[in-house]
Amino acid sequence: MKLLLEHAHVEGIRYYDTYRKHGGYRSVEKAFKMTPEEIVEEVKKSGLRGRGGAGFPTGMKWSFLAKPEGVPRHLVCNADESEPGTFKDRYLMEFIPHLLIEGLIVSSFALGSNMTYIYIRGEYAWIVDILEQAIAEAKNNGWLGKNILNSGFDCEIYVQRGGGAYICGEETALIESLEGKRGNPRIKPPFPAIQGVWMRPTVVNNVETLAAVVPIINNGGEAYASIGVGKSTGTKLLSVCGNVKKPGIYEIDMTQSVEEFIFSDEYCGGIPNGKRLKACIPGGSSVPILPANLLLKTAKGETRTMSYESLSDGGFASGSMMGSGGFIVFDEDQCVVRHTMTLARFYNHESCGQCSPCREGTGWMYKILKNIEYGKGKMSDIDLLWDIQRKIEGNTICPLGDAAAWPVAAAIRHFRDEFEWHITNADEAQNRNYGLAHYADPIHVPAGA
């Protein structure tokens, strides 16, 4: 099922003429015959959930936008995409940039944003050029600028390069950075919907979220909602990496089982080199890692599917999250301790340093994990790690603190024996990995769910 990437591989789709020939900008024509409220209503009906990570219903987010008289409002597209394992927005913007621009025009009209920003990850330098060219083409053809389609609605889209920090993907840090300040997350409330960019009401949405507005308007909210399953409507882009035969970008309707997604030739094609599946992080580095058994089946023994609901079934005790769709697969040769250390290093490096638990706790966790990985760990370190992550989680300004705590918590929760083995067999652990162990065994439900 392809909605977003349907034409992504058509030769020349990056350019306006080809894009238009394949039905491009139809949604703008349709949208400008609707009222902004009707567009918001369609998005609500579609059941679209934010694709940036939190999965918040987009229609609802849009309806929270404050509309004080005489105050401009802004739509900001979050293209900062820096979560390890996540590279879907990059693909979309690189191959089919006009889809995003089209979605932005419709959404700007719905929200009343005359000045819309794309805040893009600084390292995506070449994509800035692609987007700016697409914007220029759209403008030359009358889809942007003053009085679009004689509707009286003006809209400009600006591309702003990010400052090179993961934290600038957090929506309030993004807003600060967009304003030219240090990218520190703001303390909420007030929320961006009330006071965002320059203290004006602002909606921040992910690239994929805004691109999905195009098929929603083209086909109607209900048609979009009929795709998918339950509250996981429409299609989702997944960026797959790690030990699979076919890493890359997949657009799925979220009805597949996880097993099918990893092993079928239509998707990831299984694990290469005859290795076996050990673990997986299904939604970008911040979400809990799951051992193979809990990945393929829920704790209740049901088949786990690729939907928001199913991936989070069991909560953090035995489930994970859809997150941003960064699907990272580990085979039996991968070391969970080393991997957890790498992630801890990342969050330590990326913490903005504003609040004490995240600033200090992330570095502490990294140092302890480094000790364990390099054979200097103590058994008490495991409980200490657990206690540190517990004291960070929920006690910080922004969710980066949680995102740093969860991977450590999940690794200890599900792979504690691997940590213990690393500590008791320090020398051996320098030369070989723990291996598959029992992680692929028939389901065992961890204690203390």
Partner 1 sequence: MSEQPKFKVTIDNITVEVPAGTTILNAARMIGGDVTPPAMCYYSKLEGSGGKCRTCLVEVSKGSEKDPRPMPKLVASCRTTVMDGMEVKNITSEKVLDARKGVVEFLLMNHPLDCPVCDQAGECHLQDLSYEHGAATTRYEFDRRTFEKEDLGDYISLHMTRCILCYRCVYTAEQLTNQREHGVLDRGDHASISTLLGKSLDNEFIGNVIDVCPVGALTDKTFRFKNRVWFTKPVDAHRDCPTCSGKVRLWMRGDEVFRVTARKDQWGEVEEWICNDCRFHKKETKDWVIEGPSKISRHSVISQGHYVGVKKAPVLIDKVIGKDPKLLMDIHSISDVNRPEVELSKIAGPAHSDDFKNE
Ligand X SMILES: Cc1cc2nc3c(=O)[nH]c(=O)nc-3n(C[C@H](O)[C@H](O)[C@H](O)COP(=O)(O)O)c2cc1C
Task: List residues binding ligand SF4 (CB under 6 A).
Answer: 167, 185, 351-355, 358-359, 396-398, 400-401
State how far the Cα of 287 lies from the Cα of 306, in Å rounded to an integer. Answer: 14
Of 340 and 396, the one with the shorter C-beta distance to ligand SF4 is 396
Window 328-367: residues binding partner 1 (CB under 8 A): 348-357, 359-364, 367
Report what 56 binds from partner 1, ligand SF4, ligand X, none; CB cut-off 5-8 Å by kind.
ligand X
The window from 110-118, 201-209, 267-275, 380-388 that contacts ligand X (CB under 6 A) reads 201-209
Shortest separation between residue 362's beta carbon and ligand SF4, angstroms: 7
Phi, psi of 132 (to 5 degrees): -65, -35
Of 165 and 178, the one with the shorter C-beta distance to partner 1 is 165
Among 103, 169, 247, 325, binds ligand X (CB under 6 A): 169
Tokens of 84: 């390890």
Of 103 and 377, the one with the shorter C-beta distance to partner 1 is 377
Shortest separation between residue 434's beta carbon and partner 1, angstroms: 25
Among 43, 128, 204, 244, binds ligand X (CB under 6 A): 204
Residues constituting the chain: 449
State how far the Cα of 291 lies from the Cα of 7, in Å rounded to an integer. Answer: 36
Of 133 and 395, the one with the shorter C-beta distance to ligand SF4 is 395
Among 1, 2, 17, 56, binds ligand X (CB under 6 A): 56
Among 209, 239, 305, 348, binds ligand X (CB under 6 A): 209
Q: Is the dihedral of CA 148, 151, 154, 156 positive or negative?
A: negative
The window from 9-17, 54-62, 175-183, 219-227 that contacts ligand X (CB under 6 A) reads 54-62
Of 340 and 351, the one with the shorter C-beta distance to ligand SF4 is 351
Contact 119, 93 (CB under 8 A): no
Which positions lie near ligand X, rule CB under 6 A? 50-54, 56, 58, 61, 78, 80-83, 166-167, 169-171, 204-206, 209, 398-400, 403
